[in-house]
Amino acid sequence: MKKSIYGLTLDQLKEWFLENGQKKYRAEQVWDWLYIKRVTEFSAMNNLSKECIQLLEENFVIQTLKETVKQESADGTIKFLFQMQDGNLIETVLMRFKYGNSVCVTTQVGCNIGCSFCASGLLKKSRDLNAGEIVEQIMKVQEHFDAQQKDERVSHIVVMGIGEPFDNYTNLMGFLNVVNSQKGLAIGARHITVSTSGIVPKIYDYADEGLQVNLAISIHAPTNELRSRIMKINKAYPIEKLMASIDYYLEKTNRRITFEYILLHDVNDHVEEANQLAKLLEDKRHLSYVNLIPYNSVDEHDQYQQSKPEAIMAFYDALKKKGINCGVRHENGADIDAACGQLRSKQIKKEKKKATV
């Protein structure tokens, strides 16, 4: 299969041109066509020689994703379901905020971490996405804006779709380089957030990259006993090891970390857990922000319910009282299966049903 050209960093493309007997400035011309003019055919790149276009066509593809579903919610959230070249389905979500347009990208087909509340983890990982497939999700959403001729752009990215980004580390780094590059989409590093369930060795690596990209940690529980119950990854990387890696990250980068905390009714939403969480974050509260996430119910996980609004408020108040910065995430696209992996798992179920009738 030909490679996706979106997966190459500018330096990699320059090198490729040199190796193929071309001048390296060709790479910048190609990037201008891809990310500024945003053409989707090599033949449209009319300042390149015929030979150069042919060489590109023989070795690369530009578009590999086919849009199969586009669901728009009343609040402007749009959920896209894409089919990849091998037939696998992935989802990408566009959320509109006052501060800009944020896209949530998928990094793997399924997820092996298997958190007990998550729709993505229901389907074992069948493969990693390559860097080009992650970049192309952004290009597809940008294409949606371009088609409306409204001069809007993707300004923010959250790596919070299906998959564990730190279990696909090299492709994640390639993706971040491409979307952040000044010669390409130029999406500011501080406008990008990567979320992990806590793959400790990769948190150390990430700290060493020296990036300005934000980090979010899915913490979801303040004690090993409770966290291991809802996230089995905690057995491999328990809270003390996780916190040590976070301390290293904070020391290296001095950048604020977001802690994500899904509130599950009567599981982890008591004031006692709020106080335990506050204690856990006490020594780093000047560099912490806790994002309280109302649980989005998943059909297959009927052991969990969304916390009551009173419990959410009490949890929030308890954190605030201890001086922890926090907020409650407002639900985007509540009417369109916005929890990660939900649209995809529904679509797969539908297809299975079709196949059996």
Residues 131-170 that bind ligand SAH (CB under 6 A): 160, 164
Alpha carbon distances (Å) from 134 to 74, 124, 138, 140, 143: 26, 19, 7, 10, 15
Q: Are 164 and 111 in contact (CB under 8 A)?
A: yes
Q: Are 263 and 315 in contact (CB under 8 A)?
A: yes
Clarify whether 340 is annotated catalytic: yes
CA–CA separation, 251 vs 268, rounded Å?
29
The verdict on 175 binding ligand SAH (CB under 6 A) reads: no
In the complex, least distance from residue 80 CB atom to ligand SF4, rounded to whole angstroms:
18
Q: Are 80 and 91 in contact (CB under 8 A)?
A: yes
The verdict on 174 binding ligand SF4 (CB under 6 A) reads: no
In the complex, least distance from residue 104 CB atom to ligand SAH, rounded to whole angstroms:
8
Residues 108-147 that bind ligand SF4 (CB under 6 A): 111, 113-115, 118, 120-121
Q: Exactly one of 52, 104, 326, 340 is catalytic; name it.
A: 340
The verdict on 196 binding ligand SAH (CB under 6 A) reads: yes
- Pairing mode, if any, of strands 66-72 and 60-61? unpaired
Q: Exactly one of 51, 72, 91, 282 is catalytic; name it.
A: 91
The verdict on 164 binding ligand SF4 (CB under 6 A) reads: yes
- CA dihedral (258, 262, 268, 274) in degrees, to 10, reads 30
- CA dihedral (29, 35, 36, 41) in degrees, to 10, reads 70
Tokens encoding 51: 């030979």
In the complex, least distance from residue 198 CB atom to ligand SF4, rounded to whole angstroms:
9
- Residues of this chain that interact with ligand SF4 (CB under 6 A) are 111, 113-115, 118, 120-121, 163-164, 197, 218, 340
- Residues at the binding site for [4Fe-4S] cluster are 111, 115, 118
- Residues at the binding site for S-adenosyl-L-methionine are 163-164, 195, 218-220, 296
Which amino acids are annotated catalytic? 91, 340
